[in-house]
């Protein structure tokens, strides 16, 4: 079970978090249909680093973007997203 450092709450057990999806699968409304389907169904799934969306579901409930190594589970970067994180 990974130890994930929530930007708001600090290091917490993975059990508090929910994995949602990869960033490359996100479809912004208004994307052209072909591009949207490409993002939804044809994904890179790299054996290495990838950007993933997680939620601190059983903590502060923040939505997070995490750069995580798919093999070693090493987390290279993590940031919160949402209105509070806007510049």
Partner 1 sequence: MSGPQRAGEPGTIRFTFDGKPLLARRGDTLAAALLANGIGLVARSFKYHRPRGIMAAGVEEPNALVTVGTGGRSEPNTRATDLFVYEGMVARSQNRWPNLSFDVGSILGLAAKALPAGFYYKTFFGSAKRWMFYEWFIRRAAGLGDAPNAADPDRFAQRAGFCDVLVVGAGPAGLAAALAAAEAGERVTLVEQDRVLAPSLVRDPQELDPAWAEATAAQISALGGQILLRTTAAGYWDDNLITLSQRLAEPGQQPPNGAAQRLWHVRAKRVVLATGALERPLAFAHNDRPGVMLSQAVRTYVRRFGVVPGQRVIIATNNDDAYLTAAAMRDAGAEVVAVLDTRPAPAGATSGFTVHNEAMPLATTGARHHLREVSARVGGKIVRWQADLLAMSGGFTPVVHLHMQAGGAALDWDDASQSFLPGAARQNVTSIGAAAAADPIGPTPPPENSGKAFIDFQNDVSLGDVDLAWAEGYRSVEHLKRYTTLAMATDQGKTSNMAALGRLAEKQGVAIPDAGLTTFRPPYTPVTMGLLAGRSERDAGAHLRRLALYDVHQAKAPTWQPLGYWKRPRAYPAGTETLAQAALREARSVRTAVGMTDVSTLAKFEVSGPDAAALLELICATTVAKLAVGRGRYTFMLREDGLVFDDGTVWRLGEDRYLLTSSTGGADRMATHISYVRQFLYPQLKVSAVNVQEHYAGIAVAGPHAKTVLAALIGEEVPRHMSTVPAAIGGVPVLVLAASYSGERAFEIYVEASKAEPVWSACEAEVTAHGGCLYGMEAMEFLRIEKGHLVVGGEIDGRLTPHDLALGGMLNKAGGYVGAEGLTRPALTQTGRKQLVGLEALDGTIPEGSMLITAPGQPAQGHVTAAGLRVLDGGSIALGQLNDGFARHGELLIASSPTRGLIARVRVVAPHFYDTGGERYRD
Chain residues binding partner 1 by CB under 8 A are: 1-3, 13-14, 20, 26-33, 36-37, 40, 53, 55, 61, 63, 72-73, 81-83, 85-86
Four-point Cα dihedral 14, 80, 44, 73, nearest 10? -30
Nearer to partner 1, 45 or 84 (CB): 84
For residue 37, the minimal CB distance to partner 1 (Å) is: 6
- Rounded to whole angstroms, how far apart are CA atoms 46 and 16? 25
For residue 66, the minimal CB distance to partner 1 (Å) is: 13
Nearer to partner 1, 37 or 44 (CB): 37
Nearer to partner 1, 44 or 74 (CB): 74
- Rounded to whole angstroms, how far apart are CA atoms 30 and 35? 10
- Rounded to whole angstroms, how far apart are CA atoms 68 and 2? 11
């Amino acid at each position: 079970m990974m130890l994930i450092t929530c930007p708001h709450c600090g290091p917490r057990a993975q059990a508090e978090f929910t994995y949602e999806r990869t960033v490359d699968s996100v479809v912004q409304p208004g994307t052209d249909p072909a591009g949207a389907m490409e993002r939804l169904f044809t994904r890179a799934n790299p054996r290495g680093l990838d950007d993933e969306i997680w939620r601190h579901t059983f903590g502060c409930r923040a939505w997070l973007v995490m750069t995580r190594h798919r093999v070693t589970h090493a987390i290279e970067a993590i940031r919160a997203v949402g209105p509070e994180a806007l510049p």
